[in-house]
A and B are shown apart, each in its own frame.
Chain A
Amino acid sequence: MSSREKHIVVTLACFSLLLGYYLVNWIRMYQTVGLDQTTIFRLWGTVIVAGILVTILGTILTYIGSNVAYAIRTGKGDGEPMVEDERDKLIELKGEYASYIVFSLGVFVAMLSFVFGQPALMMFSLIVFFSLLSQVVGDISQLVRYRRGV
């Protein structure tokens, strides 16, 4: 498994957890107090900040972890070379394409909810949900292409 694949696995795991956390908290909030503005803004803030931190920390930790593993495996102290070649770029592009499709679908569904008389908070909640889902789908798509071929 290349360092890029490891990075994708870490991001996927983190964003899946984040998606789960968002869903559980949103459903709990919806069942107890409904769409409360203060609570929902706090939840969005938490999820967005956690998403940014997870991306940065995930990148750093994967880099350190894969370098340590490489040094132990090979005995070389210079670390694993971080080469990104044409295949990596193609897979990344296709992953982003899958992400955009899911996100576009999400925006459409969110707009539909608005059309059917749901409050604006519901629309924005759906957009946040689909943005997290699109990240997860993009990562899965990349992993599948790494395994099965482009």
Chain B
Amino acid sequence: MQLWLIPILPLAGFLINGIFGRRFSKGMVNAIAIGSVVFSFAWVLKTLLALDLGHTYTERYFTWIQSGALQINAEFAVDRLTAIMLLVVTGVGSLIHIYSIGYMAHEGGYYRFFAYLNLFMFFMLTLVLAANYLVLFVGWEGVGLCSYLLIGFYFDKKFATDAGNKAFIVNRIGDFGFSLAVFLIVRNFGTLDFHGVFAQASGASEATLTTIGLLLMVGACGKSAQIPLYVWLPDAMAGPTPVSALIHAATMVTAGVYMTSRSWPILTHAPAAMETIAVIGVATAFFAATIGLAQNDIKKVFAYSTVSQLGYMFLGVGCGAFSAGIYHLMTHAFFKALLFLGSGSVIHALSGEQDLRHMGGLRKKTPWTFATMMCAAVAIAGVPPFAGFFSKDAILIAAYAHAPWMYWLGTLTAGMTAFYVFRAMFLAFFGEYRGHEHPHESPPVMLIPLAILALLSLAGGFLFRVPAFLSSFFPAQEVPENPALMGVSIFAGLFGIFLAWVMYVAKPGMADSFADSVKGLYTLVYNKYFVDEIYGAAVVTPVVEGSRAALWKGVDVAIIDGAANGIGSTASGVGGVLRLLQSGSIRSYATWVLLGSVVVILGIEFAGGVR
């Protein structure tokens, strides 16, 4: 089926635009970049239609690494889970590529942007097509690289390159866990192929599987921005907005959810690891949502929202509702990509303004952006029958079956989600315009992707029944229907919307007076609980300053060099061995050689080796 064509097309686009793009016209760059991704999407469709997805279809290309008994192949595979990921990545990816034509039209480094975006597609598709953990790791690290490059796209801005470094390094901390998991897998199973590992998983001890599961989770926490490694994602918004939509909302950040779901045969035998994933997921969902309540930068609101929604997916995986997690991954890709692209359209309309306090009344100036974003807002708020309702509900019901407190916390978070999304919507689109720009609607090349995503946000939930599609893939899970629970979570969402409407439309002064009345708490939340500052003081500064003062100036210069120089000057008396040698005298060199040899030979004889 030539699966390799799927990632290779964007790679070719990257190479052509990356090397020759500087001399190309914008039209040429567009044709190559968008053409390669759209063809890739078409090839995905063709492949999936031709394949029987009942079992895994694998293609092996060459041996990548071979050492001793371990052989790691460059190998791709397609099954039902991969099929969903392929469609989301190439489908949403194509739309965002098209949107970028309009968004990036006036930016410098046009060809560079599209080259990086194509490179990202290559690595992301490698990640989801991988048939073993190490090829998956290629994509895993590769998307991290592209994320780094695109966050720091405006590389003359220090905050952008700082954010890029932060993203790469925090992800590296996660990858530390991932790579240790890989080493343990080889140590215990002797292979990294998914089918080989999973076939043996049920025979391994629970302690081993739990350790592997927890280490994989650490990797997933880095990539999917979960506590305590979520800190890079909000900063990642320094990149151009299409990047936020594609990489930091729809695709790359869901890689952790994909990878843990893919590893279900390990996790289902490691209940402690599953429990940890669920707790981290629900805690992240709640924690990030509280921060999202008080942010004034429109992209920051959606960034924390992404962290929070990824927490839901983790919760689903941790409760054993893998298909619900993947379901939410897909619907989230639709509505969160739309929210980001929509806010990009707003930012574009306001010539770069991102502060909600300087927006307002935009629904008249940018009606299409408003209408499409509204579709995404109702979808994420969990209003039936839109996309987010189905997937979030599936997760919450599974959470109730697992542990009721997780359900209640998740539902509370759902209410907060509806509140902060509609808060942003009301602040941006309702009331009077508070800024000084001349807002204008975006061109059709940006609006058409928005419209398609709006349709998907509205109808994606009941059009694509992911749990049914994946029912044969994941282990069956008995979750009783529970209309009452469904009613509660719907009510939470609607109440959140209502509250936002009261505070930001009906009685606009209410929000500020409320913030004043809980000033301490508001300051804490507004400053994101000072987590970045705590990490800086507890980790970054001690490492840097300790390395400088204790290791470099201390151990290296003072102790080791001090000792070496001390020996030198002691041995040489006044003039020093240094000067003798510096004179280039061969005789003194020979003397040293001879003397040393004698000493050592005597030493060896003395040690009793001689017979």
Q: Do A and B come from one complex?
A: no
Binding site for A on B (CB under 8 A): none
Binding site for B on A (CB under 8 A): none
